[in-house]
Every structure is written in structure tokens, then in C-alpha cells.
Amino acid sequence: MNRYAVFGQPIAHSLSPRIHAAFGAQFGIAIDYRAIEAGRETFAATLEAFARDGGRGANVTLPLKEDAVVLCDALSDRARRCGSVNTLLREGERWAGDSTDGVGLLRDLARHGIDARGLRVLLLGAGGAARAAAFAFLDAGARELVVTNRTAARAQALAHVLGPPARTCAWDALRHQAAFDLVVNATSAGHAGDAFDWPLAAGATPAACYDLSYGRAARPFLAAARAAHARAMHDGLGMLVEQAAESFERWHGVRPETTPVHEQVRAMLDARG
């Protein structure tokens, strides 16, 4: 049987094996998809062993998305552009890399009734996750994309690559900004569990807030968004399902139905508390 896996660290609680099993069930395909623990030092060797054992495709998550770029012999345009790979496909003796995060984010936003076209978007963060989101927003026709990061130079470098209508704003200067249509948290700050320090002025209520993380990691930002009276708040669980559907289609040539899987993984996450 062809084998599939998600690589990352930590990976034990990944929902991806369940998501791919649910997709496979829609087509009567038994999917051998596992979560494989690999850190930055062990990833290359672990991936090689996986390929030898019949690995045909893989997802890659924290902290390996940029390392995966280097291990690929070919890259899709979107993976090259955002410097990040979350999907690997075995083609003969080589790995081809793709990035399905951006399209996954846009599909999940659409599910929530949010079309980024014409919106004024604030993006918090300038790491790998933020890069994929930033390109997706420009592709979707955002009117303005303001990139802010704790380390300002990283935000400036990203805005430079993106070009207009992307620009940067210092984190401390965000309180002078008018209200945004959409505020997206792409920082990994929530993983530490600390309270999120809301950076916008009290009157600048955002229409919608979205955290690329889910579960506990998304709670500090979403709690701060609620306190700021944001009109809609969403975590990134739906993006996880949508990027997985895109990966599944690349591997199996068929597009799974995501609606029932969103409900399943939400129930699984809620059961974890």
C-alpha cells in the first residue's frame, strides 16, 4: 500500500491522520497516513527512510516547512513564491513540493462568508505561516495588506517581496490605525499560552478576526478579539481541513467533500477540551 504521513514536532496530537482517513472513506480508499515525529536535525533522514518504505506523499508542519523547500527537487510556483512547503509528492525518485496553506485559508474564509477581495487586512506575523497567508490575500485581491511583526525587519522584508498594496506598520503604531475589515493572527505567540496584548485602538473594531492556529494556541488571540468586540472570530481548524483536501487531491486525483469533515474534526477538538 502507498504510504502517506505528516512530519513535524510536536506531532502526536495531529488531526491530519483522521482527516485523511475521513477523506479516503468517501472514495472507499483505505489510507495509510501516519504522524511521524521529526525535528529539524532528523527530518531529511526520516523522510528518506519514509520514501524507501513506500512513502508517496507527505504533509509537513512546524517547524519543517522551510526545511522541506530545500529537500524538494521541484517546487510549484506557489511554494517557491512563499518559500514554504506543506505538501510533498513522490515523483519517481524525487520529491516535488507544493504549498496548499494559502488556498486552504481562502477556502475556509469563504466558508465563513469572507471574500478577501477589496478588504483592508491586517496580518500579524512575518514567519512561514504569515508568508503563505500574505500571498493568498494579494492573490484574492485585498485592497490593502498591512504586515506587522514583533521583529520589524522581518515584516519589512516580507512587504518588500509582496509589493503594493502590502505595506508595514510598526506593532506599537497599530493603535493609530483605522479599523480593519479582517485581522489575521499568523504569529506563533499563542503556543506559549500567554494573554494576547490587543494592539489596536479601542474604537477601531475589526469586522472579523482569524487565527491560523486552532485549539489552545488560538485562544489568547480570539479572547482578545472578543474583548475588542470583533464581529466575527474564527480559528484555523477549517484551514487545516481545507489545505488537507487540496493535498489529498494532489495525491489521489479526486477532490473530497470537506463539509462533513469540518464537523468531525471540530467535535474531536471539542472533546479534547
Residue ranges of the binding site: 14-16, 61, 77, 86, 101, 125-129, 149-154, 212, 214, 236, 243
| 127 touching ligand ATR, by CB under 6 A | yes
Among 40, 112, 143, 150, binds ligand ATR (CB under 6 A): 150
| Nearest Cα to Cα of residue 216 among 196, 241, 245, 239 | 196
> Cell numbers 479572547 correspond to what residue?
223
Q: Which stretch in 18-26, 115-123, 185-193, 202-210 sits in contact with ligand ATR by CB under 6 A?
A: 185-193
Q: In what order do the strands lie in the sheet with 120-124?
A: 166-168, 144-148, 120-124, 182-185, 208-211, 232-234
DSSP H stretches of helix in 191-236:
219-227
- Least distance (Å) between residue 187 CB and ligand ATR: 3
| 154 touching ligand ATR, by CB under 6 A | yes
List CB contacts of 70: < 8 A, sequence separation 6 or more: none
Residue 65 appears among annotated catalytic residues = yes
Mask: binding to ligand ATR, 188-207, rule CB under 6 A, as x and -? xx------------------
- Least distance (Å) between residue 209 CB and ligand ATR: 16
Cα–Cα distance measured from residue 105 to residue 113, given in angstroms and rounded to the nearest whole number? 12
Amino acid code (one letter) for 192: A
- Least distance (Å) between residue 186 CB and ligand ATR: 6
| 15 touching ligand ATR, by CB under 6 A | no
Amino acid code (one letter) for 257: E
- Least distance (Å) between residue 239 CB and ligand ATR: 13
Q: In this structure, what are the phi and psi dihedrals at residue 205, rounded to the nearest 5 degrees? A: -70, 120
Give the CB-nearest residue to ligand ATR: 127
Q: Which is nearer to ligand ATR, 16 or 149 (CB)?
A: 149
Q: In what order do the strands lie in the sheet with 55-60?
A: 32-37, 3-8, 55-60, 87-91, 94-98, 74-75
Q: Which is nearer to ligand ATR, 22 or 103 (CB)?
A: 103
Binding site for ligand ATR (CB under 6 A): 62, 65, 125-130, 149-151, 154, 187-189
